[in-house]
Amino acid sequence: MPKRSERAPGEKLLRPIEVQALLGIGATTLWNYRKAGVLKPVQCTAGGHGRYREADVLALKAELVEAVAS
Protein backbone atom coordinates (compact mmCIF):
# COMPACT_ATOMS: atom_id res chain seq x y z
CA MET A 1 0.00 0.00 0.00
CA PRO A 2 1.42 3.43 -0.88
CA LYS A 3 2.23 5.84 1.91
CA ARG A 4 -0.32 8.57 2.53
CA SER A 5 1.89 11.03 0.67
CA GLU A 6 2.13 8.89 -2.50
CA ARG A 7 -0.40 8.44 -5.28
CA ALA A 8 -1.02 4.99 -6.67
CA PRO A 9 -1.70 4.68 -10.41
CA GLY A 10 -5.41 4.96 -11.08
CA GLU A 11 -6.15 6.03 -7.50
CA LYS A 12 -9.31 8.08 -7.14
CA LEU A 13 -8.60 11.55 -5.85
CA LEU A 14 -11.18 13.54 -3.93
CA ARG A 15 -11.76 17.27 -3.83
CA PRO A 16 -11.96 18.96 -0.42
CA ILE A 17 -15.75 19.22 -0.58
CA GLU A 18 -15.99 15.46 -1.18
CA VAL A 19 -13.65 14.77 1.76
CA GLN A 20 -15.73 17.01 3.99
CA ALA A 21 -18.91 15.19 3.00
CA LEU A 22 -17.42 11.72 3.58
CA LEU A 23 -16.02 12.65 6.99
CA GLY A 24 -18.89 14.89 8.07
CA ILE A 25 -16.52 17.78 8.80
CA GLY A 26 -16.26 21.39 7.76
CA ALA A 27 -13.63 23.21 5.74
CA THR A 28 -11.85 24.51 8.84
CA THR A 29 -11.50 21.03 10.31
CA LEU A 30 -10.15 19.69 7.02
CA TRP A 31 -7.64 22.56 6.91
CA ASN A 32 -6.59 21.79 10.49
CA TYR A 33 -6.17 18.09 9.61
CA ARG A 34 -4.00 19.16 6.68
CA LYS A 35 -1.84 21.49 8.78
CA ALA A 36 -1.43 18.86 11.51
CA GLY A 37 -0.52 16.14 9.00
CA VAL A 38 -3.54 14.01 9.84
CA LEU A 39 -4.69 13.99 6.21
CA LYS A 40 -2.25 15.21 3.58
CA PRO A 41 -3.12 15.97 -0.02
CA VAL A 42 -1.17 14.01 -2.59
CA GLN A 43 -1.61 16.68 -5.20
CA CYS A 44 -2.45 20.39 -5.26
CA THR A 45 -4.04 22.44 -8.00
CA ALA A 46 -2.49 25.67 -9.23
CA GLY A 47 -4.88 27.46 -6.86
CA GLY A 48 -3.60 25.47 -3.87
CA HIS A 49 -6.59 23.17 -3.51
CA GLY A 50 -5.58 19.74 -2.27
CA ARG A 51 -6.59 16.45 -3.78
CA TYR A 52 -6.83 13.55 -1.35
CA ARG A 53 -6.56 9.81 -1.91
CA GLU A 54 -9.93 8.16 -1.40
CA ALA A 55 -8.23 5.28 0.44
CA ASP A 56 -6.65 7.73 2.92
CA VAL A 57 -9.97 9.42 3.58
CA LEU A 58 -11.75 6.11 4.13
CA ALA A 59 -8.96 4.90 6.44
CA LEU A 60 -9.21 8.11 8.48
CA LYS A 61 -12.98 7.72 8.65
CA ALA A 62 -12.55 4.19 10.03
CA GLU A 63 -10.07 5.49 12.63
CA LEU A 64 -12.46 8.25 13.68
CA VAL A 65 -15.40 5.84 13.97
CA GLU A 66 -13.29 3.45 16.03
CA ALA A 67 -12.11 6.25 18.32
CA VAL A 68 -15.69 7.35 18.95
CA ALA A 69 -16.85 3.78 19.57
CA SER A 70 -14.16 3.04 22.14
pLDDT digits (tens, 9 = 90+) for 17-48: 999 999 999 999 999 999 999 999 999 999 98
Instruction: Count other Cβ atoms within 10 Å, centred on residue 41.
Output: 22
For the chain, the straight-line distance linking the first and the last C-alpha, in angstroms and rounded, comes to 26
Residue 58 confidence (pLDDT): 97
| Domain boundary assignment for the chain | 13-69
Q: Is the per-residue pLDDT at 12 higher than 50? A: yes
| Rounded Cα distance, 31 and 66, in Å | 22
When the pLDDT of each residue in the chain is averaged and rounded to a whole number, the result is 89
Please identify, in words, the CATH class of the domain defined by 13-69: mainly alpha
* Nearby residues of 69 by Cβ (< 8 Å), 6 or more positions away: none
Burial classification of residue 69, based on how many CB atoms lie within 10 Å of its CB (0-12 exposed, 13-18 middle, 19 or more buried): exposed
